[in-house]
Chain A
Amino acid sequence: MSATREAAAAPVLRLRGVRRRFASGGGLDAIDLEIAAGEFFVLLGPSGCGKSTLLRLVAGLDTPQSGAIELGGRALGDGAGGRGEVAMVFQNFALYPHLSAFDNIAFPLRLRRMGSGEIARRVGAAAKMAGLDLDLGRRPHELSGGERQRVALARALVREPRVVLMDEPLSSLDPQLRQSLRVELKEFHRRTGRTFLYVTHDQTDALTLADRLAVMRAGRIEQVGTPAEVYDRPQTEFVARFVGEPAMNLVRVALAPKREALMLGDARVAVQPPSAVDSDVTLGMRPSDLSVSVSSPHKSPACAADAVEIPGEVEDAEFVGARYLVTVRVGASLSLKAESAERLEPTTPVMLAMRRARLHFFDPASGRRLE
């Protein structure tokens, strides 16, 4: 973490108070962001959150209504500025359909009136870097999805931009290909050492690819941090719900009269709430942090000192591959999701256990994290 903070001292890309609103509603508000050289930075958010708008502003395809974007220390929109310094990989790759793979990659070089020997050399190098191992005389419609992606990467790379922008380049591919290209993309970033700014709505993309990510919602940035920071300490309820699969349990709970416990429906959970809370609090628990054990009436299960326990009853167990996702009813009106290695029958009484340190608290009014 400290390493990325230090690198951020000399950001390659800096956005200050950037605003771009559309008449139709969406857009961006007051975006401040700094991206360090060589970083793989991901913008994560649901559709319509403004992440693609942000990418288009950095590309120069759109201009902000207010605020400033600096690329390598120079303001965007000053003369020729940004265009030569950024390259973009589009969602559908936007290859030139009438040109061969070679001519697609060579296009930016030809515009710069480079000699044909130099072009051949640089296209070859970029193709190799992008892992393109095919006859470059083929047209885009003769290539597979993965090959198109690699041609698009090579085209973006060939003119050696400061920043490579990517607009959901994996979203139109089938899951298997997506998985392998994700690995390839990370590898590609390592090899090139360039700054990547990557937009996605897919949290798996974001968590696996990013050095740092920004979670966006409705035109604002909710949280910036490393994948671990965002996953382990979500700063808002929205981030908590959006990042993590299966989604975090978020329940509104009341304080017990003397503040010594929380009331989960009828269940009393011995947890000291954060001091800022006076009546209600939103409690967050990741299903993967909750362990399920079948409770027996005879012995109370050994309870670690730093753990909380919640009694409940199995409502449903859904097979999700390696594990079951169990829905546990707690009290009359509340149910929680938990992960279990074994299949549990409905109506089985169970005990949910979780480490205290893994609990998340949010202010029900503002949605901000409470410590």
Chain B
Amino acid sequence: MNRRAGAGWAAVRAAIAAAIVLGAALPLYLLLKQAITPERESFAWPPLWLPHRIVGTHLHAVFALPELRGAILLSLGIALLSAALATALGAMLGYAMARSGAGRAAGFGALTAARLLPMIAVAIPLAIGMGRVGLYDSPSGLGLALVHSALALPVAALMVYPAFAALPREVEEAAWLDGASPARVFVLIDLPQARGALAGAFVMAFILSWDEFGYALLIQVTHRTLPPLLYYYMVFGDVGAASALALLMMVPAVCLVIALGPMLRGAMAAGGLR
């Protein structure tokens, strides 16, 4: 009886999961289709669900683009730097939130307050400020990397905070008694135990920067990152090339998730065991 009910639930859960996966996969499928079919098929009415003719012209056009190489390198550099910064700072903030009541209050307060400001109200003064210190539209993208790490910091902190909160204090005390300074306890004992959450925070911060459009548009005016580049394609109406570029943009994020997958899964398994 109970077993039957359990099987029924499993079926419902599977159906819901399938619907979610389908919902997420459908736009990806359309993107792929647009990237490899002639433009006519993308705008056909009634819509064509299956590709009729496969062409490489859009991908060609994207790869032929002179700005592409620079934009990829710039986006990659900014995303890696900002993700590293956000993860490092987020780990410290998350740890403070997990270990002290004052840290928790301050952390949540600051993270919420930061979200209250509309982006555009922050972006313009920020761009002016960046100009003063020579980071506006810099070829290295350092200014935008700092902005992105600030954006990702709350996400990173909130992702690692529960992982630190779940760590038993006795293990830290044991390390302290073994002769480790508080900083070493954090680096040698706490960080390795939270590595799954740290990997998750890094992936989230990376994707957040990789995708980020608004600040990138305002700060990297001539040295463009990929999202604004994509936007120009859309504006100029080359849907096929835009789709091909969007497809290309998915590659690093997917690679990162696959590379860090074992760690992410490990963190989930560890959480389940505790």
Contacts and interface: CB of A to CB of B under 8 A. Distances in A.
Contact of A83 (B168, B171, B177): B177
Interface residues of A, number: 23
Interface magnitude class on chain B: 10 to 19
A61 B179 contact: no
A159 interface: yes
Nearest to B171: A94
Interface in B137-164: none
Given A97-B193, A111-B184, A61 B168 contact: no
A155 B178 contact: yes
Given A83-B177, A96-B174, 7 more contacts: A61-B173, A84-B179, A90-B170, A94-B168, A94-B170, A98-B195, A107-B178
Contact of B192 (A87, A88, A95, A98): A98
B175 A107 contact: yes
A331 to B, nearest CB: 52
A7 B257 CA distance: 63
Contacts of B193: 97-98
- Determine which residue in B177, B188, B189, B192 has the highest number of CB atoms from chain A within 10 A of its CB, and name it: B177
B180 interface: yes
Contacts of B192: 98
A72 interface: no
A267 to B, nearest CB: 53
8 contacts: A60-B177, A61-B173, A61-B177, A87-B177, A88-B173, A92-B170, A96-B175, A111-B178
A348 interface: no
B178 A90 contact: no
A112 B179 contact: yes
A334 to B, nearest CB: 47
Contact of A111 (B168, B170, B180, B273): B180
Of A59, A83, A98, A108, most buried by chain B (CB within 10 Å of CB) is: A98
A293 interface: no
A91 B171 CA distance: 11
A108 B174 CA distance: 10
B266 to A, nearest CB: 10
A234 to B, nearest CB: 33
A108 B184 CA distance: 12
Interface in A71-118: 83-84, 86-88, 90-92, 94-98, 107-108, 111-112
Given A96-B189, A97-B193, A98-B193, A111 B171 contact: no
A90 B184 contact: no
Given A96-B189, A111-B184, A88 B177 contact: yes
A14 to B, nearest CB: 20
Contacts of A98: 192-193, 195
A82 B169 CA distance: 20
Interface in A122-137: none
A90 B173 contact: yes
A83 B174 contact: no
Contacts of A108: 178-179
A137 to B, nearest CB: 17
A92 B273 CA distance: 15
Given A96-B189, A98-B193, A111-B184, A91 B178 contact: no
Contacts of B175: 96, 107
Interface string A51-71: 000000001110000000000
B179 A92 contact: no
A159 B170 contact: no
A87 B188 CA distance: 19
A83 B173 contact: no
A95 B188 CA distance: 13
A108 B171 CA distance: 13
A98 to B, nearest CB: 4
A63 to B, nearest CB: 14
A355 to B, nearest CB: 47
B199 to A, nearest CB: 14
Contact of B173 (A94, A107, A155): A94
Nearest to B167: A97
Interface string A156-194: 000100000000000000000000000000000000000
Contacts of A91: 170
Interface in A283-311: none
Contacts of B273: 141
B180 A97 contact: no
Nearest to B191: A98
The 5 closest A-B pairs by CB, nearest first: A94-B170, A108-B178, A94-B174, A98-B192, A111-B179
A141 B168 CA distance: 15
A304 to B, nearest CB: 55
B193 to A, nearest CB: 6
Contact of A86 (B168, B177, B184, B188): B177
**Interface centre among A59, A60, A90, by most B CB within 10 Å?**
A90
B269 to A, nearest CB: 11
A60 B171 CA distance: 15
Most buried by A among B174, B176, B179, B193: B174
A80 to B, nearest CB: 9
Contact of A90 (B174, B188, B195): B174
Contacts of A111: 178-180, 184
Contacts of A60: 177
Contacts of B188: 107
A94 B177 CA distance: 11
- Max chain A Cβ within 10 angstroms of own Cβ: one of B171, B175, B178, B193: B178
Interface in B181-225: 184, 188-189, 192-193, 195
A354 to B, nearest CB: 46
A139 to B, nearest CB: 12
A60 B174 CA distance: 11
B168 A159 contact: no
A114 B90 CA distance: 33
